[in-house]
Amino acid sequence: MSVNVPNYNAEVAPPEVRGSLVALQQLAITAGIMVSFWIDYGTNNIGGTGDTQSDAAWILPICLQLVPGIALGVGLFFMPFNPRWLLHHGREPEARKVLSNLRNLSQDHPLIELEFLEIKAQSVFEKRSIAEKWPHLVALTPMNTFKLQFVAVGSLFTTKAMFRRTIVATVTMFFQQFTGINAVLYYAPSIFEALGTSSNTTSLLATGVVGVAMFLATIPAVLYIDKLGRKPVMLAGSTGMLICHITIAIIFAKNQYQWATHKAAGWAAVVMVWLFVVNFGYSWGPCAWVLISEVWPLSNRAYGIALGASSNWMSNFIVGQITPDLLKHITYGTFIFFGALTFGGAVFLWFYVPETKRLTLEEMDVVFGSVGVARADDARMREINHEIGLDDALRTMGIGSGNDRSDGSGDEKSRSPKREIAEIETKD
């Protein structure tokens, strides 16, 4: 779901709202976390909070989790097929029909024709890239599709330049998880109880605030990430999280056996947990995903992002498994541990990860030492655009050739057909 949902959103959305919808996914995730925390807090009082507490206090939250799952499962039957998938598998009439329904335009509308040809160009590009690299896997059989996943991922390790991109994507996602964010989200009530909160109800209340803080912190990230860049925002977040970890560890070490008489210290530590979540919410939360999607050349992007997501979930699993034992055996050392890894992430980011803001694919090649990969991809795409008639369609609408997209700004996206089609749709 973590890979397919953003891909589906990106591929069925109109160009003018595509970026916003993908960014909205992270906001939706934090909203779901926030709602779940407050449901736990509310149901905790069913039947009281002591010995009289009803079993419904824990059964109801578990049952409520079924509601969105069932809604999603049922809703999938009413969702259209991805037009890109349909076209990639030779079902062009269906793809055109679905695209027409999604845009609420007739199938012969010029904008539908343009977007259809652009999708077709991308499909042909992917097939020819595969044919060039792995000619024995061209046929779209189930076995070839299965084999392709392994050889395509394996190609990310074959050259020094590509391996560096792989390191950036996978290690960035490793450090995103080992900031300790999901240790806090998964075990917040236990953490707050260890920090001296007076009751389970109070711990759940503090956990609810975690959800609200993370939700609100994520909102502005979409507004300034393209203005300030990825590295500055992530480094600022790393600094804030490190300060929070160290402060919590110091407070914990001094007061772990005297919380009852030092309640203010306990609440100070709780506030630092909230601030930690805020620092993650505006930085490593959204920016890491943006970063790993930008470092790949077009022909390797899908597999590179998938590898980064795999690193994220494996690290997530490890954090979830070790956190209870860390809290039990090294107590405040847990925060020193995650603080050290947060510092390690900042060092890695500073010395190894390039700033990707507004870099073209060709400029990214120079940064990673693989000059020519993006240029070759672009040449192939230009040839395909001319071959399938996308250039002619663009000229007919007065947009210009798909092979002449630069406006001299150095930003290859500034004059892309998608951008210009979006502008026309907005005017209409």
The pLDDT value given to residue 223: 72
The answer to whether 292 touches 308, Cβ cutoff 8 Å, is yes
| Tokens representing residue 56 in the block | 């419904």
For residues 27 and 30, give the distance between their C-alpha atoms in angstroms, rounded to a whole number. Answer: 5
The pLDDT value given to residue 168: 94
The pLDDT value given to residue 400: 58
The pLDDT value given to residue 14: 74
| Tokens representing residue 270 in the block | 């709780």
| Tokens representing residue 30 in the block | 């934090």
**Residue where the block lists tokens 């807090």:** 41
For residues 237 and 345, give the distance between their C-alpha atoms in angstroms, rounded to a whole number. Answer: 11
The percent of residues in the chain predicted with pLDDT above 70, rounded, is 86
**In 44-109, which residue ranges form alpha helices assigned H by DSSP?**
56-64, 66-76, 83-88, 92-103
- pLDDT-flagged residues of the chain (< 50): 405-419, 421-422, 424-427
What 3-state class would DSSP assign to 155?
A: helix
- What are the DSSP calls for 165-221, one per residue? HHHHHHHHHHHHHTTSHHHHHHHHHHHHHHTT-SSHHHHHHHHHHHHHHHHHHHTTH
- The count of other CB atoms within 10 Å of the CB of residue 38 is 17
Q: List all residues 6 or more positions away from 280 whose beta carbon is below 8 Å from its beta carbon.
A: 179, 181, 214, 217, 237, 241
Question: What one-letter code names the amino acid at 400?
Answer: G
The pLDDT value given to residue 411: 43
Say if residue 65 is exposed, middle or buried (CB neighbours under 10 Å; 0-12, 13-18, 19+). exposed
For residues 225 and 230, give the distance between their C-alpha atoms in angstroms, rounded to a whole number. Answer: 6
The pLDDT value given to residue 10: 66
The pLDDT value given to residue 20: 60
Residue 414 DSSP code: G
The answer to whether 125 touches 380, Cβ cutoff 8 Å, is yes
Q: List all residues 6 or more positions away from 171 whose beta carbon is below 8 Å from its beta carbon.
A: 311, 348, 352
The answer to whether 283 touches 342, Cβ cutoff 8 Å, is no
The pLDDT value given to residue 242: 97
Q: List all residues 6 or more positions away from 141 whose beta carbon is below 8 Å from its beta carbon.
A: none
| Tokens representing residue 126 in the block | 């992917």
Using alpha carbons, list the distances in angstroms from residue 113 to 91, 233, 396: 15, 40, 11
For residues 100 and 116, give the distance between their C-alpha atoms in angstroms, rounded to a whole number. Answer: 9
Instruction: Say how many CA atoms lie within 13 Å of 319 toward its Cβ.
Output: 26
The pLDDT value given to residue 371: 60
